[in-house]
Structure 1
């Protein structure tokens, strides 16, 4: 008789305790007998350890299904439909393309950073890794969380950098919007950054957090005003009900904490599934699209930026005028110009490289040396005679790359990539060069380091290209339209002018001090 459970799971796939008991009761067994039958299950029926479900439910599967798509699909259904602790994190990972920086997992998990009697985000990650659903590794120098390859869920490695860039510009736009409306303290807006403390409200992390002194938000203690807060998360694409649960969970948990000040929750996505929209609105959450907040031009600019970065190689080769369009649509957003400068500098370099020597270019090329060592080549240029590995940094002209930053690239990443590509038969008998291009400059120590490394090896050439060199190359290769873009948004950007003016005043002050 116990084989009934085995046959049921073999036919229907993995199930939770409640599903199996319901099936047994439908066959005529009493609830007590059904539970006893499950306790005496055959050895072919296995249970997942290390993961708890509400009401002490457990996840059961037939041993023949372990590790198959049916196993992972069943586990996904069980987590998203039956676990408010782990389900929101899995749904949010899917919405983020299956890969995010490890630093950002607490934001999308829906779990608190740390709270009594609650499973924290670190524990959620550890358990999802423990059952093989998620994994951690590094891309370049950035630790990331991604779906494990055997889970069956796709990981958008190619789109990952573009997603991060557009999300960051979108967050800059949200901050700019809130500042201009006077909703938040101008200089107190916290936006997520890799390697830094996450924006936090109560026990939860968000993409953006800012104090607000608007009348409905302020509370007074000892005659002094205490601000409320604006909290926001952003997504690209349409948000469904499962993905919305992470944000809903954070908001519900925060409201339950009586000592927390009032807060205004905002979630932004390109669109919302009707059931997700209704649930968010029913819980007092502002659910809106970029076009509604910032207007159609900015919304088009964000969509265009994502499309451009997804097809960077083709655009850099044939359609570089898109760069100017994106700057005109998004460059006025406070904080966005710097992020655009970095992302679009690769397209400028790629276009110059194409005009210099023909061949093929690949922007943002992903390189998998082994499971624990993965890199991205900003611009990979191959011709019949040469292979060029180019690192790009779209800094302000006043920024100088120092020896420490250059050494991390030149002695580790550049060497490993050179060795990796040299071993490929199709790239034999070509001259290799590793190049570091910046729209800024280099310190004397960095220049000396590059010369030292260049003298140490004859396997590849080492080349540094500063901002003024980039501008000269634009003229030399006759890159139409790029001269204006580079002058306005790299060499002569208003922020740059202010920095130069400040530097000049600083130098003038030092001269006066020396004269005294």
Structure 2
């Protein structure tokens, strides 16, 4: 007789339905009897329950646990019988191995609010973390297990795509508001309609979308998600189509205007969206050729910021000039990210090597730390924190910067560049509160292991004047300091 343990040990891991069929075939027994034997199986055969269709389990041998084969089979099992898990893995893979924790629910086909018959999104995420499929990349990002996604994520490219997504969604809000598709003032990002989260939502009062109850208008909703920076296939859009299908089935009275922003679609995906009545928001068709090229330039510049700002810094000047022309002030919420490029532009004129948006790990067991700008000189490493806000940095942040962030990054620096001195700088377009300045002045005068300095509006403009590049000074004044006293 072929035992369950023998089959599972050979296969390493498989779905319980497949195991029951193999067991029935090998021993000439009825499938129902085989299923009952599988249900009663004990160690070294183990099961993961609660995620798979038709009340199935994921069955594995203890010798295979947490191996490459185990995770390969688990992912395949998600695709076969746990689509609500598979779409989350697909979303992270689509975004090159990383996803913003606040955005992952946008790419789910599971509700963030409880709906009868559907597992809650947060329950699924907790289960995937428990299974070591999903893990923290840092405080703000999720990544996948190294067996599932072995390549190290390209954080610069991820940041570039995120910045482009923010810009596109902001312009979707403006465009849809101006033509009356959605209420401009009520539009929100990463928000919920009918229990599901979308990248952008806005109530729509268009004729055909509004219903009346006791004479009071009940709006429909513009709901939008975004997929850019990768090949967008039918697999990539599955979450969106399923999310809409569940809403329409569970909330028959709601009227939706679904939009998917894309920068390219495979033909099969295009047809699937059209069939489902989705408005396909092609970047080029919605905003024009120049805007489409601007998005491509933005992504390329941020992805390769260190090299471009060092070897071809005028590309940054051209990018910022185009941004201010084409988006007409709609990038205010991007100032923080773009300010890193401005600081990088300055240091690119002086240093030997430049990196923008670097993540470092002081010790393997410690959390990742962000370095906005790192400029290497022959005898010094200059590490710059960039705050492109129109309000002052407060003392709470300065306390964390001085007491937690700098010591952690200094630990990494001493291991990586032990022969170089270390200099920290904090650049803030909005300046600092009085108490924050007191702490920074004290640290600047008393810290001996490394130097600490800070710059605010007059200091930053003085740095720009050193370069004798009037266009750079103009960009700083018009874009970063326009709303700063």
Normalised to the residue count of structure 2, the TM-score between the two structures is: 0.90
Q: CA 1:129 to 1:440, structure 2 compared with 1: closer, same or farther past 3 Å?
A: same
1:303 positional shift: 1.8
Partner Cα distance (2:450, 2:40) in 1: 67
Aligned to 1:311: 304
Partner Cα distance (1:440, 1:47) in 2: 57
1:64 positional shift: 4.3
Q: Does 1:333 align with 2:333?
A: no
* Counterpart selection for 1:426 from 417, 431, 437: 417
1:314 positional shift: 0.7
Say which SS state the counterpart of residue 217 (structure 1) adopts.
coil
C-alpha contact (below 8 Å) 1:219/1:225 kept by paired residues: yes
Aligned to 2:275: 282
Q: CA 1:109 to 1:63, structure 2 compared with 1: closer, same or farther past 3 Å?
A: same
Aligned to 1:54: 53
Q: Does 1:365 align with 2:355?
A: no
1:38 positional shift: 4.3
Superposed, 1:105-124 pairs within 5 Å as: 105-117=104-116, 118-124=118-124
Partner Cα distance (1:394, 1:308) in 2: 18
Partner Cα distance (2:476, 2:346) in 1: 12
* Counterpart selection for 2:210 from 203, 218, 234: 218
Partner Cα distance (2:47, 2:330) in 1: 46
Structure 2: runs of 5+ lacking an equivalent = none
Aligned to 1:135: 135
Partner Cα distance (1:289, 1:7) in 2: 53
Structure 1: runs of 5+ lacking an equivalent = 193-198, 501-516
Query: Residue deviations 1:306-351, cap 9 Å, x none?
Result: 1111111011112222223333444343664224432222222123
Superposed, 1:156-167 pairs within 5 Å as: 156-158=153-155, 159-167=157-165
C-alpha contact (below 8 Å) 1:50/1:130 kept by paired residues: no
Q: Does 1:99 align with 2:98?
A: yes
Aligned to 2:389: 395
Superposed, 1:25-44 pairs within 5 Å as: 30-32=30-32, 34-35=34-35, 38=38
1:6 positional shift: 5.7
* Counterpart selection for 2:442 from 423, 434, 452: 452
* Counterpart selection for 1:345 from 339, 349, 356: 339
* Counterpart selection for 1:301 from 294, 310, 327: 294
1:20 positional shift: 3.3
Query: Residue deviations 1:366-402, cap 9 Å, x none?
Result: 1112344111100112212222110012234xx3323
Aligned to 1:187: 185
Aligned to 1:508: none
C-alpha contact (below 8 Å) 1:313/1:361 kept by paired residues: yes
Partner Cα distance (1:235, 1:48) in 2: 35
Q: CA 1:368 to 1:85, structure 2 compared with 1: closer, same or farther past 3 Å?
A: same
Q: CA 1:371 to 1:260, structure 2 compared with 1: closer, same or farther past 3 Å?
A: farther
Partner Cα distance (1:175, 1:387) in 2: 42
Aligned to 1:144: 141
Q: Does 1:126 align with 2:107?
A: no
Say which SS state the counterpart of residue 345 (structure 1) adopts.
helix
Aligned to 1:490: 480
Q: CA 1:21 to 1:389, structure 2 compared with 1: closer, same or farther past 3 Å?
A: same
Q: CA 1:16 to 1:365, structure 2 compared with 1: closer, same or farther past 3 Å?
A: same
Structure 1 segments (4+ residues) deviating >6 Å: none
Q: CA 1:334 to 1:26, structure 2 compared with 1: closer, same or farther past 3 Å?
A: farther
Residue-pair matches, total: 479
Aligned to 2:172: 174
C-alpha contact (below 8 Å) 2:136/2:142 kept by paired residues: yes
Q: Does 1:258 align with 2:257?
A: no
Say which SS state the counterpart of residue 20 (structure 1) adopts.
helix
Say which SS state the counterpart of residue 395 (structure 1) adopts.
coil
Q: Does 1:441 align with 2:434?
A: no
1:24 positional shift: 5.1
Which stretch of the first structure deviates more once superposed, 100-109 or 35-44? 35-44
C-alpha contact (below 8 Å) 2:428/2:457 kept by paired residues: yes
1:425 positional shift: 6.2
Say which SS state the counterpart of residue 188 (structure 1) adopts.
coil
Partner Cα distance (1:276, 1:371) in 2: 42
Aligned to 2:314: 321
Partner Cα distance (1:24, 1:272) in 2: 43
Which stretch of the first structure deviates more once superposed, 451-460 or 437-446? 437-446
1:415 positional shift: 2.4
Which stretch of the first structure deviates more once superposed, 242-251 or 227-236? 242-251
Partner Cα distance (1:462, 1:245) in 2: 50
Q: CA 1:371 to 1:216, structure 2 compared with 1: closer, same or farther past 3 Å?
A: farther
1:405 positional shift: 3.0
Q: CA 1:261 to 1:152, structure 2 compared with 1: closer, same or farther past 3 Å?
A: closer
C-alpha contact (below 8 Å) 2:313/2:348 kept by paired residues: no
Say which SS state the counterpart of residue 135 (structure 1) adopts.
strand
Q: CA 1:185 to 1:426, structure 2 compared with 1: closer, same or farther past 3 Å?
A: closer
1:190 positional shift: 0.3
